[in-house]
Chain A
């Protein structure tokens, strides 16, 4: 009896690990809004082309992600797509896939070894340098158009350990230093709200309680921009007197823009990144050559072109 059970157990184990010819996907985090759109982009493209994909959640754990990749390799997938948890921990993944000669595609986050990837590995993403700079330059132009020459702003950063948060904040400084901003910008304070609307709401209210006059908020993502807006509305601040920018163009952000609150956001085409990564993986698996760095451009969204984006993510 015991033996039969054990055999049945092993058989079911083997059934779950043996999924040859599919494509394995390891996402950094399932409950991230943006990555969810990206994940759906992969799933949708796969469904359309009749491919089987197995998508795993690395739960923001570098070690778990490497285990998932090794499991994919062990089960003989035809290609692997990785959305790296930590962009500096990708060398081991590249090595593991290269040793098994299985194609690997990094998506959305640029791996540290992007310039030394083997031939059957690629990288599909948007260039983070474009992200918040596009929005910020537009913000500067709007201030200039409103007749301002000097502005004071608050900066809301994403999680401090996150590459995108660091880059998006750096972009503000770079734009100012390169003289691309049409007005003189003074940063009153810069704090993290960990990408979260709730924390952003509290942070903004804390800032408002100091009473310093300000002309706008630069948020690393839309969720935080929306939190800031909710705090300002609660404090009866005229939303026409401040200019708020975010990144992502989420549905919530677009609705807020329609209501005349959020002024600027930047659309990162998550679905296109997901689809692009799957395309690259399929081609690599078929032995075709692909472009090793594929950049999907960021797109500026303002009330003027808002309508084009309402159905995009």
Chain B
């Protein structure tokens, strides 16, 4: 089928090379999975997954279920926005889950109330002068934690040239150690009302969607975004083209660290507690969301929209299995199969396009 257009750099319009945006494939998968749960539900339970079947509620859809589908993945979703940018530049970030743990502990320490039900706060970390602080203090402390962790990740990767896997693995272990050390393993609870309001109700969803939109625009329309793709596609070429690759990498990892830290603030607020074990395995869930959404681990390919759809697929699976009253064992097995399946399909599609 070789057309002459290849010889001139593929600039000429070639209908054979026109493909749907890869996000459409992911979206199709999402629709298929939802349809599968809908059908299974109707066949085995006589109940609907998507639509409302309760008499006492007057809506077409089961709104509560639609809400929880996205709410339960919003926090890891926020992390995955940063992870997506890292992976697009050809890197990887294993530290985000541990950054969540460490940040949640430290931020929550600055968000405590002095009195709980008329008694002094039994989980107090600092003295009374650090109690009942305005909500901006713990949020800024949290973001500063993420900034520091991300900066260290980025600087290590850009300037010592150690592989991102190793640098962020180090941060993963160190930050988890810090999360445990901070209060010697004790949970930190009883935040101020202001802090507690950050993660209540559907606010995590709005934060996730808002940040997703923001970073979608950044990745699509700004120099920052273009440089991410350029570095991920061909780092040497990007350097030749005059992109400050080292500086850009520092920036990308810093943003990823801050997004993980922000997720920690939302998570600890939503749960009204911070615990040293928070965020374990979140980094892998975040990577999986991106990968399911079509972000290539080789770098240079993928999008924020894809990752958001990947996150939704995760949410649909969790809710779908609970809806079908299936055990958690199957949930994990299917989750694993879907991650691998998504990448296999993606690879296959890429090869086909490469040949075509």
Contacts and interface: CB of A to CB of B under 8 A. Distances in A.
Q: Which of A32, A198, A209, A227 has the most CB of B within 10 A?
A: A209
B186 A36 contact: yes
A31 B180 contact: yes
Contacts of A109: none
Main secondary structure of the interface of A (DSSP, over half): helix
Interface stretch (B3-11, B61-69, B251-259): B61-69
A31 B275 contact: yes
B40 to A, nearest CB: 14
A234 B122 contact: no
Q: Size band of the B side of the interface?
A: 35 or more
A33 B186 contact: yes
A310 B271 contact: no
Nearest to B322: A206
Contacts of A210: 47, 65, 323
B13 interface: no
Contacts of A40: 184
B318 interface: yes
Nearest to B123: A251
A295 interface: no
B270 A209 contact: no
A255 B180 CA distance: 23
Interface stretch (A45-53, A89-97, A189-197): A189-197
Contact of B267 (A31, A198, A230): A198
B272 interface: yes
B295 to A, nearest CB: 24
Contact of B328 (A160, A197, A252): A160
B275 A211 contact: no
B318 to A, nearest CB: 7
A211 to B, nearest CB: 4
Nearest to A37: B186
Contacts of A214: none
B120 to A, nearest CB: 10
A206 B68 contact: yes
Interface of B: 47, 53-54, 56-57, 62, 64-65, 67-68, 71-72, 75, 116-117, 119, 122-123, 179-180, 184-187, 189-190, 200-201, 267, 270-273, 275-278, 318-319, 322-323, 325, 327-329
9 contacts: A31-B277, A39-B185, A191-B328, A198-B75, A198-B270, A206-B322, A211-B57, A252-B272, A255-B122
Given A30-B276, A252-B187, 5 more contacts: A198-B267, A201-B271, A210-B65, A210-B323, A310-B119
